[in-house]
Amino acid sequence: MDAISVIRTKRDRGELTPEQIDWVIDAYTRGEVADEQMSALAMAILLNGMNRSEIARWTAAMIASGERMDFSSLSRPTADKHSTGGVGDKITLPLAPLVAACGAAVPQLSGRGLGHTGGTLDKLESIPGWRALLSNEEMLHVLDTTGAVICAAGDGLAPADKKLYALRDVTGTVEAIPLIASSIMSKKIAEGTGSLVLDVKVGSGAFMKTIEDARELASTMVGLGTDHGVRTVALLTDMSTPLGLTAGNALEVRESVEVLAGGGPADVVELTVALAREMLDAAGIKDADPAKALADGSAMDVWRRMIAAQGGDPDATLPVAREQHVVTAPSSGVLTRLDAYGVGVAAWRLGAGRARKEDPVQAGAGVELHAKPGDTVTAGQPLMTLHTDTPEKFDYALKSLDGTYDVAPAGTSYEPTPVVLERIA
Residue where a domain terminates, one of 276, 309, 342: 309
Shared-domain flag, residues 249 and 131: yes
Is 237 inside a domain boundary?
A: yes
The whole-number pLDDT of residue 118 equals: 86
Same domain, 103 and 142: yes
Backbone angle region of 259, left / alpha / beta, with phi > 0 → left and psi within -120 to 50 → alpha: alpha
Based on the domain organization, do 18 and 86 belong to the same domain? Answer: no
Quickly count helices (H) and strands (E) in the chain.
16, 13
138: CB partners within 8 A, 6+ apart: none
Q: Which residues have a catalytic role annotated?
A: 82, 161, 168, 183, 187
Would you say 201 and 421 are in contact if contact means Cβ atoms under 8 Å apart?
A: no
Distance CA 269, CA 422 (A): 18
CATH code, domain carrying 338:
3.90.1170.30
Do 288 and 327 fall within a single domain? no
Q: Work out how many domains the chain is built from and give that number.
A: 3
Q: Is 73 within a domain? A: no
pLDDT at 196: 97
Same domain, 297 and 399: no
DSSP lists the bridge partners of residue 358 as none
Q: 212 and 359 share a domain? A: no
Are 115 and 236 within one domain? yes
70 lies in a domain? no
Beta bridge partners of 224: none
In a domain, 380, yes or no: yes
Q: Compute the distance between CA of residue 184 and CA of residue 192 in angstroms, rounded to an integer.
A: 13
Residues 267 and 173 both lie in one domain: yes
CATH of residue 202: 3.40.1030.10
Q: Is the same domain home to 126 and 256?
A: yes
- pLDDT recorded at residue 114: 73
pLDDT for position 165: 86
Same domain, 254 and 121: yes
Q: Are 349 and 393 spatial neighbours (Cβ–Cβ below 8 Å)?
A: yes
Q: Tens place of pLDDT for every residue, the chain, 425 residues?
A: 899 999 999 999 999 999 999 999 999 999 999 999 999 999 999 999 999 999 999 999 999 999 999 999 999 999 999 999 999 999 999 999 999 999 999 999 998 887 788 899 999 999 999 999 999 999 999 999 999 999 998 888 899 998 998 898 788 898 899 999 999 999 999 999 999 999 999 999 998 999 999 999 999 999 999 989 999 999 999 999 999 999 999 999 999 999 999 999 999 999 999 999 999 999 999 999 999 999 999 999 999 999 999 999 999 999 999 999 999 999 999 999 999 999 999 999 999 988 777 788 999 999 999 999 999 999 999 999 999 999 999 999 999 999 999 999 999 999 999 999 999 99
SS3 202: strand
> Could you tell me if 149 and 45 lie in one domain?
no
Distances (CA, A) of 424 to 3, 218, 233: 36, 7, 6
The reply to whether 60 falls in a domain is: no
Please tell me whether residues 274 and 208 are part of one structural domain: yes
What's 8's domain CATH number? 1.20.970.10
Q: What is the number of other CB atoms lying within 10 angstroms of the CB of residue 230?
A: 21
Structural domain that includes position 344: 323-408
Asked whether residue 424 is assigned to any structural domain, the reply reads: no
Q: Return the pLDDT at 356.
A: 74
What pLDDT is attached to residue 32?
96
Is position 59 within any domain?
no
Calpha distance 100→114 (Å, rounded): 28
Q: Is residue 163 part of a domain?
A: no
pLDDT at 172: 86
Helices 92-101 and 266-282 cross at an angle (nearest 10°) of: 50
Q: Which among 309, 344, 373 is the end of a domain? A: 309
